[in-house]
Amino acid sequence: MTDLSRLPCALIQPLLTHVVRRIAARHPSLFARLGPHQSTDFLIDPIELPFALHLRPDPEALIFRAVPRDAAPHPGALIRGKFMLLLELMDAEEDGDAAFFSRDLEVSGDTEAVVRLRNALDDVDGSIAEETADMFGAPGRVILARLRRNYPTQENGAVAP
C-alpha cells in the first residue's frame, strides 16, 4: 500500500523543479547574495499545506522539493508560517521582523542564513510570485489572484486565516 501523505509531494515536484530552474536562470544574483549559505538546507514549512519545502540554493546542485514533514532533512535553517505569509515575505510585501515578533513566523537554526536569504529576495526587482504565475500563463495568474483573494492580509482590514 502506498503512503498517501507522499502523493502531494510527487504531484507538485515537477512544477517546483520547473519554477526553481527558471527563477535561478533569471536571477543569478540571488546566489551571490547568499555567500557561504548557498549550501545551507532550508526547510520552508507552510503550516496549512500537507508538506514542507526543502531548498538548497546551491547553483551547482540546486534543490527545491516538496517533502513530507516526517521525511524532511535536518535543516540548517527552518522557516515556518502560514502559506500566504511566506509568499508575501518572498516578495517583500510583509515585514519579516514584525511577523517574527508577533509569532506568526517561526525561524530557527542558522538565522544568519535566513537573513541572507531574505536580503537576497528583497533585492529581486518585481514579484517572484507573479513571475512564477506568469510561467503558467493565464491559469497561473488566475490561481495567484485567487490565493491572494482567499488569504486576505491584516493590511487590508481582514484577519488572515
Q: For residue range 36-57, what is the model confidence (pLDDT) as tens digits?
A: 999 999 999 999 899 999 999 9
pLDDT at site 148: 86
Q: For residue range 94-112, what is the model confidence (pLDDT) as tens digits?
A: 777 788 888 889 999 999 9
pTM, two decimals, is 0.83
Q: For residue 154, count other CB atoms closer than 10 A to its CB.
A: 11
pLDDT at site 135: 93
CATH 2.130.10.10 fits 4-126, yes or no: no
Question: Between 150 and 68, where is the model more confident?
Answer: 68
What is the torsional sign of CA 24, 28, 29, 35?
Answer: positive
Q: Give residue limits of the domains in the chain.
A: 4-126
pLDDT at site 142: 94
Q: What is the distance between the alpha carbons of residues 27 and 15, in angstroms, rounded to a whole number?
A: 18
Closest CA to 148 of 85, 70, 96: 85
